[in-house]
Copies of this chain bind each other. A is one copy, B any other.
Amino acid sequence: MAKALKKNAAAEATAPCGRFAAGEDPAKRGQIIDGAKRVFLRMGFDAASMNDITREAGVSKGTIYVYFKDKEDLFAAMVEAEREAFLAALRIILAKDDDMETSLYTFGIRFLERLTDEKSITAMRMVLGVRERMPDLCSRFFRGPQNLRTVLHEYLVRQVAKGSLVIDDIDLATGQYLDLASGSFFKFRLFGTMPEPPSQEEMVRVIRGAIRVFMAAYSRHDESVIARAPL
C-alpha cells in the first residue's frame, strides 16, 4: 500500500510518456537515493545495510540493483546528488542580477548554512571515512569539476569583466572568499567541537566581515581614483 502510493506519486510526477527503461526512471532513482541518504546519514556507510535502505526507500532490493551497480555505487550517487543540490541552490543566487554585495551576502549566508548543517557535515565525515576504499569519490566530492569553487569563480570572472571588481588572481580570490565565509565554523563542526550550527547572528557577522575584507581588497576604488586624479 505504501508502495502503491509511492508508485502513483511517481507516476503522476513523471507520467505522460508511458514507461521508463530499467534503471532510467528519474523519480524512482530519486526515491532510492532519498532513502539511501537517510539511512547512510543515520548509520554511516558500513553500518547501513542494503535491507535498511530497501525498507526506507520503499523499493525492492532488486530494483536498487537495477539502478545502482552496488552499495558503493549507490553511495557515490547519493553523495553526488547531495553535492549537486548544494551547488544548484548557490548557482541560482549568483545568476541573479542583484547588486554584487547582495549577491555575495546571500551566497555567503546560504553557503555557510549549508556547510554547517548537520546533514552536510555528516556526509562529509562519511566521505572522509570511506576514502581508503573509494578514493575517487572523495576527490570528486571535494574538488570535482563542477564544484563550488568553479561556480564562484565564474561569477567573479563576470564581475571583473563588467568592471565591478578588480582582481589579479581570480583563483586566489575565489578561495579567499570561501575561506573567509566559512570562518572556523567548518572545522569546528566537522570535528564535533561545535555541536550545533552557528546561529543566524553569528553567520551574519562572519559573512559581513568577509564581504568587508573582500570588497576592501577587490572593489573598484572610484574615490581613491578621483582622489588621485587631481594631480
A132: contacting residue among B122, B187, B190, CB under 8 A: B122
A224 is an interface residue with CB less than 8 A from chain B = no
Choose the segment among A7-15, A43-51, A81-89, A92-100 that binds chain B (4+ C-beta atoms closer than 8 Å): A43-51
A138 is an interface residue with CB less than 8 A from chain B = yes
Q: List 11 additional A-B contacts (Cβ < 8 Å) besides A44-B133, A45-B46, A135-B192.
A: A41-B132, A42-B132, A43-B132, A44-B130, A47-B133, A124-B128, A125-B129, A128-B129, A128-B191, A142-B193, A187-B187
Q: Which of A123-165 contact B (CB under 8 A)?
A: 124-126, 128-133, 135, 138-139, 142-143
Q: Is A139 a contact of B192 with CB atoms below 8 Å?
A: yes
A199 is an interface residue with CB less than 8 A from chain B = no
A179 is an interface residue with CB less than 8 A from chain B = yes
A184 is an interface residue with CB less than 8 A from chain B = yes
Q: Is B122 a contact of A125 with CB atoms below 8 Å?
A: no
Q: How far is the CB of A119 from chain B (nearest CB, A)?
A: 12
Cα separation A128 to B122 with both chains bound (whole Å): 9
A→B interface (CB under 8 Å): 41-47, 122, 124-126, 128-133, 135, 138-139, 142-143, 179, 184, 187, 190-193
Identical subunits present: 4
A125: contacting residue among B44, B47, B128, CB under 8 A: B128
A133: contacting residue among B43, B135, B191, B193, CB under 8 A: B43
Q: How far is the CB of A21 from chain B (nearest CB, A)?
A: 13
* Max chain B C-beta neighbours (<10 A), residue from A45, A122, A129, A179: A129
Q: Is B179 a contact of A142 with CB atoms below 8 Å?
A: no
From A41, which residue of chain B is reached at the shortest CB distance? B132
Q: Is A128 a contact of B128 with CB atoms below 8 Å?
A: yes
- Residues of chain B contacted by A45 (CB below 8 angstroms): 46, 129
Cα separation A190 to B46 with both chains bound (whole Å): 20
From A191, which residue of chain B is reached at the shortest CB distance? B142
Q: How far is the CB of A145 from chain B (nearest CB, A)?
A: 14
